A and B are shown apart, each in its own frame.
Chain A
Amino acid sequence: MAEMDLTRFEVLVAAYGATPNRWPEEERAAAEAFARADPRAAALLAEADSIDALLFAHRVAEPSRTLRAMVIEAAPRKRRLTGRARLWWTGIGIALAGASGMLAGSAATAALEPISANVLMYSHDDVPALDYSAEENAL
């Protein structure tokens, strides 16, 4: 717990007022203990409390609806395509899809070729070699 004496307690209350929640966290426990233990603390707290009450008497108006609406109006939003723009993008999308389909097809063929070759090789290995000699002899 941080150290607390009358001098520091006076500074604390003069700056942050009488409410412990507003006192610096690292000194709060020590200051609360001091306030309970030292009879001089009460007068300091009462003085600070009267200034707190004045401060919190101050109210400001809520933001106007107009301000709120203007602020929200300026907020970023997801683009929504309409009318001609949508047609344009649809056309471009179809063209791109076609092109990418062709590209994908070529790429797939290229990628599959060696695999197919391997499969064929393995299939040959798996199947016992045909012996044509018996057929030739029969003829």
Chain B
Amino acid sequence: MISDDPDGELVRRVGEGDVQAAEALVARKLPRMTALAHRLLGDRTEAEDVVQELFLRVWKSAAAWRPGAAKFDTWMHRVAFNLCTDRLRRRREVALPETWDAPDPQPLADAAISAEQQSDAVGRALAELAPRQREAIVLTYYQELPNREVAALMGIGVDALESLLARGRRALKARLEETDG
């Protein structure tokens, strides 16, 4: 087990059937992975389905987990990311529009706007980004993964990632100003 993987010891214990370790791993990872799936899919129910599938794979893999180049958190991100992109691909195949939970845009800049309204507006703007821009932003800003890890997960170079991030940020701002006006 590599010593610099903060999850290594916990995963080893999970593999031995230690339920307390499983609970600790869930406490550590469930909110983070649910947020990732929610932001990529824009749908809480689907996000929870993905997270259940993700943890089934974690439970199956824990006993055999041998750290290589990747940390366990990176491996979890890869599995979650692939599960989400598979679902998004299937959605596109049946030509459903990608929408956030709430369909109607709301004005953003009212002085009295609540944090919840602002969060909803940003959520809708995120959902309307091009999928690759959204993936880059979610992995970099919300999941706080290093740029090289994000690029590797997305199968692109760092230059391409930076381009997606910059375009995504500009598009997000433009969308929010549009709904604001």
Asked if A14 and B172 sit within 8 Å, CB to CB, the answer is no
Q: Which of B38, B119, B144 contacts A57 (CB under 8 A)?
A: B119
**Contact (Cβ within 8 A) A51 B59:** no
A81 beta carbon closer than 8 Å to chain B = no
A71–B141 CB distance below 8 A? no
Contact surface of B with A, Cβ cutoff 8 Å: 14-19, 22-23, 26, 30-31, 34-35, 38-39, 44, 48, 51-52, 55-56, 59, 62-63, 115-116, 118-119, 122-123, 125-126, 137, 140-142, 144, 146-147, 158, 161-163, 165-166, 169-170, 172-173, 176
Task: Indicate which residue in A57, A67, A75 contacts B59 across the interface (CB closer than 8 Å).
Answer: A75
B16 touches A78 (CB 8 A): yes
Chain A: number of interface residues, binned into ranges: 20 to 34
Once the chains are docked, how many angstroms separate the CA of A47 from the CA of B173? Answer: 10
B148 nearest in chain A by CB position: A24
Q: Does A43 contact B (CB under 8 A)?
A: no
Main secondary structure of the interface of B (DSSP, over half): helix
Nearest 3 Cβ contacts at the A-B interface: A75-B22, A78-B17, A15-B162
Q: In the complex, how many angstroms separate the beta carbon of A4 from the nearest chain B beta carbon?
A: 15
Taking a contact as CB atoms under 8 Å apart, the answer to whether A67 and B48 are in contact is: yes
Question: Which of A31-39, A58-66, A112-120, A122-130 has 4 or more CB atoms under 8 Å from chain B?
Answer: A58-66
The verdict on A76 contacting B166 (CB below 8 Å), with A60-B39, A67-B34 known, is no
Give the CA-CA distance A56 to B39 in the complex, in Å.
13
Q: A74-B59, A76-B59 are in contact. Are A58 and B122 (CB under 8 A)?
A: yes
